[in-house]
Amino acid sequence: MSAYSARAARPLTLASAGIGVIGASFGMARYGFGLLAPDIRASFHLDNGSIGLLSAASYAAYLITSIAAGALAARLGPRMVVAAGGLCAVAGMLIAGIAANPSVLFAGLLVAGASAGLVFPPFSDVVSGFLARASRARVLAAISSGTGWGVALAAPMALLAGQSWRTAWLLFALVAALATAWALTVLPPRRPSAPAEVVRLKPSWFLCPRSTRLLMGALLVGLASSIYWTFAVEHLQSQGDLSTTQSRLFLAVVGLALIGGTVGADAIDRLGARAAFILAAAAEAASLLLLGLTPDAPPAALTSALLFGVAYATIVAIAVIWSAKIFAEQPSAGLAAVMVMNAVGLLIGPPALGAVADHTGLTSAFIAGTLLMLLTTALAPAEELRRAGQRGLSPRASD
């Protein structure tokens, strides 16, 4: 075993690398825009529809790179793909940090958003190839919580930058550079071994009876969650009279609650995948409704932040573990498929719901998100995922 693989085989070391690079790419490069949106709006005099289109830039790039991530990981190895994703995060946020107009900012968000689609899927391959089966589900859940760590760190950094949103982007880029460097010291330079039979990545492999609930659920979760990620801070500031400092502290609470995704594997083991998913989806629906109807009540906003963070992270952790079971022959490609469906929802949501908000107000957009999350409960996993980490993630699953 090489020095790289020996380090990668340590669950805590691998989890820390995944948390770091995913925190930078998801929590900062992709979701950082929502944190800074009010100051960006004021700087460029933008309406809700324009903010939605800017937000959609990162999701569009995320969608494109998610489609390619599985094939790239199989061809180049996880380390090279993560390196590319980290470089996109650094470069994109540097461009955003020097943006003098919305067009340059849009370009920066495109490049930065590409990072999220590249960095996550390769970790699914590494976890499956280098870790003992008993550790896999828990490490995947921990890595999926990286978004929370990124958001929790981005909020105080944005507070430190004040109204200088450009400075905040530059600070985020520095964190991304450090996180990428650490990931590259941990990840193996190539796949652990050549598979006996290479899975042909054709549409029928992704779209099959086993995957219908998983992929459709990812789409609806993306649609519903996009309203929170893009407009929560705006809603609190415009309707709740929260200051920039207070609204950023609100997102810090969301980030800390997102770290609750580390319990995703334990929730499946204790409750079963179906019950855990339904409970988390209902909790996210409640968080959307609560913030939409009562943005002027700080206790309600705090409750919403806690509910949303824990619920969203739990849903993501369940999807990652569920994906590793359904697509066990090639985990990175399967996780990329889930991310693609989620990205489609996140891409469509901000401009569509932003346009709705311009005509009927943000409250109606949050109500629409609530209804979508309630609809998602019908797509909860039907198969058994309990103790997947102890028994191994079987490629066979029934819908």
Averages of pLDDT over each 10 residues, the chain, 399 residues: 50 90 91 84 84 79 82 83 95 95 93 90 82 79 85 88 91 96 86 47 64 90 89 84 79 85 72 88 96 92 93 88 80 81 84 81 91 94 58 37
397 lies in some domain = no
The pLDDT value recorded for residue 179 is 96
Please tell me the predicted confidence (pLDDT) of residue 115. Answer: 94
What is residue 284's predicted lDDT score, i.e. its pLDDT?
A: 96
**Assigned domain for 398 exists:** no
- Give the chain's largest Cα–Cα span: 60
Identify whether 199 is part of a domain.
no
Alpha-carbon gap, residue 372 to 396, rounded angstroms: 29
pTM, whole model, 2 decimals? 0.77
**The predicted structure's pLDDT at residue 393:** 41
Q: How far separated are the first and last CA of the chain, in Å rounded?
A: 38
Domain assignment present for residue 399? The answer is no
Q: In whole angstroms, what is the distance from residue 197 CA to residue 326 CA? A: 17
Q: How many domains does one find in the chain?
A: 1
What is the predicted pLDDT for the residue at 201?
54
Transcribe 207-270 into DSSP letters.
SSTTTHHHHHHHHHHHHHHHHHHHHHHHHHHHHS---HHHHHHHHHHHHHHHGGGGGHHHHHHH
Q: Which domain holds residue 331?
A: 3-190+204-391
CATH number at residue 373: 1.20.1250.20
> Given the structure tokens 């968000």, which residue do they identify?
109
Tell me if 11 is assigned to some domain. Answer: yes
Cβ neighbour number for residue 278 with a 10 Å cutoff:
18
Structural domain includes residue 396: no
* Pairwise CA distance, residues 151 & 255, whole Å: 5
Residue 69 lies in a domain: yes
Q: What is the pLDDT of residue 190?
A: 62
